[in-house]
Amino acid sequence: MKEAGTLREGLARRLGTGDAVVVGLSAMIGAGVFAAFAPAAAVAGPWLLVSLALAAVVAYCNATSSARLAALYPESGGTYVYGRRRLGPLWGYLAGWGFTVGKTASCAAMALTFGAYALPGLERPLAVLAVAALTVLNLFGVQRSAGVARVLVAFVLAVLVAVIAAGLFGDDVVTFGWFANMPAPTIDVWGVSQGAGLLFFAFAGYARIATLGEEVRDPARTIPRAVGIALGITLAVYTLVAVAALRTLKPELLAASQAPLADLVREAGFGWLAPVVGVGAAVAALGALLALLLGVSRTVLAMARERDLPGALAAVDPVRQAPRRAELAVGAAVIVLLLVADLRGAIGFSSFGVLVYYAIANASALTLGRDEGAPPRAVPVVGLVLCLVLAATLPLVSVLAGLAVFAAGLVIYLARRSVR
């Protein structure tokens, strides 16, 4: 393995459009779809579909800005790279810091979710094994990881199709009278905004495509296309799941459910599907974990290249052309978190961090000129404003935790600069 002295050695470009779409789908159609609608319904109530539409608008703006920037800067690191190039080192660092810390905790949460569904009572040991196994898989190169993700995504989509069919066609009658006769309560703008913030987190996986920009073939063409396809498929699936859940459970039962999609199939008269939904949730968590580990390790690689993290993590394996040290470091950090922390209620700042990350992406896109492939100006403006609004309207504990994480990152940044 080459040492960190060659900080700019590139990764192998092995991913085509299909592979990039699969990586994005495995992150977006992850475990969140099996649980995200319940907390969103609790705050948005009958306006859940409005929250979903708002989250989709934010996701579209962020995806468009990110895709244009990724095509211009086809390097590992995503918004960390764009922020540095367009806004300055501090803004890039804050984006990378928020993404790395927040998503490392998200990796641990996804691993615990997999363990809880696959082997209740032994979720922590199984979570550790899952992280170790997927880290080893990633060491063999991104193309092999994308192949595994393809199988996981196909299975999860099949399960979701069954759930949607049960919800829409249950009880042997296709009726949508509830929607037609739904009362028209005064819209709760704050609740809709909170619901959109919670649902946006489930859309945020398209960042994985951008963070893998250095491993995509023909990035100027492939990245925008892959982001658009992955986002479109995800929005279609989420909309159908939301409609099916509202039709079958109504907002009140949906908000109170601990396992909304399992409750949906039971209520629709397809109780035999509930165990299949549980398996689907476990597989989805595994797919999300795989995509998260890939994305975080590439951001670590980019930050190490700029010495915002230890330079040794920038080494690229000369045979596999994969950032093995960064991958091992991320895997080890996630395992340590799993061993010493209870993360189920401690990662609220992750949504906050993701929204700040994309706010910086949109601000970076605002600096693009027409000759650099700038999107229509309204796109990054709307994306920037809505990211900040949704971040500010998240539950107070999430906002405070997020601010504390970014404050800690700023202190570390200033301390490192003072000794350089």
pTM of the model: 0.78
CB 315 within 8 A of CB 227: no
CB 286 within 8 A of CB 130: yes
CB-side neighbour CA atoms (13 Å) of 214: 23
Question: For the packed helices 349-365 and 79-86, what is the interaxial angle rounded to 10 degrees?
Answer: 40
The confidence score (pLDDT) of residue 52 equals 92
Unique residue bearing structure tokens 């649980």: 35
The confidence score (pLDDT) of residue 5 equals 37
Domain layout of the chain by residue ranges = 17-418
The confidence score (pLDDT) of residue 407 equals 94
CB atoms within 10 A of CB 247: 20
- In whole angstroms, what is the distance from residue 63 CA to residue 28 CA? 12
Would you identify the CATH topology of the domain 17-418?
A: Amino acid/polyamine transporter I (1.20.1740)
Per-residue pLDDT of the chain (420 residues; tens, 9 = 90+): 333 334 445 556 667 777 778 777 877 777 678 877 888 888 888 899 999 999 989 988 998 898 889 888 877 778 899 999 999 999 999 999 988 888 888 888 888 888 878 887 888 899 999 999 988 887 776 555 566 777 888 888 999 999 999 988 876 444 445 555 555 567 788 889 888 888 887 776 666 666 666 667 777 777 778 888 888 898 899 999 999 988 888 888 888 887 888 889 988 888 899 899 989 888 888 888 887 888 788 888 888 888 888 888 888 777 667 788 888 999 999 999 888 876 655 556 777 888 899 999 999 999 999 888 889 999 999 999 999 998 888 878 888 888 988 999 999 889 877 776
